[in-house]
Amino acid sequence: CLSVQVCEWRPPEELKELLDLELRDEGESESQILQRCRDAIRYSVKTSECSSSVGRYRSFGTQLYTYEVGPVFTLVEDAVLRKMMELVGWEEGGDGIFNAGGSMSNMYAVNLARYHHCPDIKQLGLSAAPRLVLFTSQECHYSISKAAAFLGIGTKNVYKVPSDESGKMIPSALEELIKKAKSEGAVPFMVNATAGTTVLGAFDPLEEIADICGEHNLWLHVDACWGGAALISKKHKHLLKGIHRANSVAWNPHKMMMACLQCSAFLVRDKTGLLQRCYSASASYLFQQDKFYDISFDTGDKSIQCGRKPDAFKFWLLWKAVGARQLEQRVDRKCLFHRYLADEIKKREGFRLLMEPEYANVCFWYIPPSLRQLEDGPELWSKLHTVAPVIKERMMKVGSMMVGYQPHSDRANFFRMIVISPQAGKADMDFVLDEIHNLGKDL
């Protein structure tokens, strides 16, 4: 049993060659993918196979913080980050880290932007700092407010920029708010632009926002957690035009790309080690400086966590298996089905589309026959507001499907349909509409 090695050690550069990390256009056969899994196991640290070689500090599963505890997954993370940065359009690369979800990635962004703006805050705290203000659209994900609360910036210092009818941030309104903040004596430090808003699926105009950020010297973060997948599609990447000008990007392959939860990347354009400087605590029990390998691969000090799960591996293996071309087709196919669903909604009596979908969020009301004669006015909308919750309750109890609903500014409760499965087809879209009608026609 002692002949089983805890780890078949290879230095980073050699292991890179052995693993063939590159993410290509074409996928691989099942047997090749199995071999990749075997290789990943072979060169990883074995933490519990054998009771006679248990002299390993901490045997609770492979995790990331130093190269020596996770050689394979450290390199895989690096390769996936590089590929994602290439898609963002950072030709010279950058830096980044996978972490526990999009809310966390957005928090990293706010903190990093603040550190970039004023590195002293890391040591001195905000009580010695002026009032810092960040800007985001009213349609942004709620994690931006959570970040401001958590990081000590304060939710009142999140200035919400108005969006247009389709949910996109209005650049002139952003500019006005920046001026307002400055006139109040506050200090603007970052703008969060959203590429794929949660409810409407809207994409903020990145080029114009980047211009404004340049003018006012503000960090531009793009929350592309949901919309980032469009970058892989030649047909849809125009939605994120200008993203290469961002200082940082959050992108969750566990959403549209269907890598399993959790798989969330935070990308940074800076190449001077900003991430490391911002996050390091230099714990001497892990990040020894007298190691025998290139310690730039010890990524644990770039993170607020210590041990991290090797989340990037899921996306890497998926990509290896299906290839970039099929990933692209999947995104395109899903957008097609959303288009079909929107067209069906427009055709069918009793359904009403909230707006034409640009990406993969289809928002709509179902109007039961009893309300179809009502004029478009307060009475209709207040009655309609109670329809979606009842249909949802019945849907849950029958167990036929799960489609979410929500109110939105002054709009009554509506359904929001998002399809992620690559197996979905037109019949499924029809089923959703038929079933909503069946569940709600008596209301």
Interaction mask 281-300, its own copies, x per CB under 8 A: xxxxxx-x-xxx--------
- Residue 227 CB neighbours (<10 A): 28
Shortest distance (Å) from residue 207 CB to its own copies: 28
For residue 44, the tally of other CB atoms under 10 A from its CB is 19
If one asks whether residue 198 binds its own copies (CB under 8 A), the answer comes out as yes
Q: Which of 22, 25, 37, 142 binds its own copies (CB under 8 A)?
A: 142
Q: Does 167 bind its own copies (CB under 8 A)?
A: no
For its own copies, the closer CB: 16 or 408: 408
Give the position of tokens 């063939």.
20
Distance of CA 43 to the CA centre of its chain: 29
Per rule CB under 8 A, is residue 202 in the interface with its own copies?
Answer: no
Listed ranges 48-56, 80-88, 175-183, 214-222: which one lies at the site for its own copies (CB under 8 A): 48-56
Instruction: Using the rule CB under 8 A, give the single segment among 167-175, 202-210, 215-223, 277-285 that binds its own copies.
Output: 277-285
Q: Show Cβ contacts of residue 437 under 8 Å, excluding neighbours closer than 6 positions.
A: 350, 366
Is 107 among the residues that bind its own copies (CB under 8 A)? yes
The pair of structure tokens assigned to 396 is 């849950």
The residue from 34, 37, 41, 149 that contacts its own copies (CB under 8 A) is 149
Is 374 a binding residue for its own copies by CB under 8 A? The answer is no
CB-nearer residue toward its own copies: 111 or 163: 111
Residue 136 lies near its own copies (rule: CB under 8 A): no
Options 91, 217, 378, 402; binder of its own copies; rule CB under 8 A: 402
Q: Rounded to a whole number, what is the distance in angstroms from the first to the last CA of the chain?
A: 69
Return the number of the residue (32 or 296) whose C-beta is nearest its own copies.
296
Q: Are 8 and 39 in contact (CB under 8 A)?
A: no
Q: Where are the alpha helices (H) located in 131-273, listed in sequence order?
A: 143-150, 171-183, 206-216
The residue from 124, 241, 336, 346 that contacts its own copies (CB under 8 A) is 124
Name the pairing type of β-strands 95-99 and 158-161.
unpaired
User: CB of 256 within 8 A of CB of 240?
Assistant: no
Cβ–Cβ < 8 Å for 405, 388: yes
Ramachandran angles phi, psi of 256, nearest 5°: -55, -35
Q: Using omega within 30 degrees of 0 as the cis cutoff, is the peptide bond preceding 262 cis?
A: yes
Binding mask 52-81 for its own copies (x = CB under 8 A): xxxxxxxxxx-x----xx------------
Q: Is 14 in the site for its own copies (CB under 8 A)?
A: no
Q: Kindly state the smallest distance separating residue 241's Cβ from its own copies, in Å.
A: 26
Asked if 31 interacts with its own copies (CB under 8 A), we say: no
Q: How far is CA 119 from the centre of its chain?
A: 26
The CA-based angle 226-431-391, given to 5 degrees, is 80
| CA neighbor of 69 nearest in space, from 44, 52, 48, 51 | 44
Is the Cβ–Cβ distance between 371 and 384 less than 8 Å? yes
* Phi/psi of residue 107, nearest 5 degrees: -65, -40
Task: Identify which of residues 133 and 209 has a Cβ nearer to its own copies in the complex.
Answer: 133
Comparing CB distances to its own copies, the nearer of 82 and 416 is 416
Q: Which is nearer to its own copies, 224 or 258 (CB)?
A: 258
Binding positions for its own copies, 411-440, rule CB under 8 A: 413, 416-421, 423-425, 427-429, 431-432, 435
Q: How far is the CB of 353 from its own copies (least distance, A)?
A: 17
Q: Is 185 a binder of its own copies (CB under 8 A)?
A: no
Query: In terms of CB distance, is 82 or 116 closer to its own copies?
Result: 116
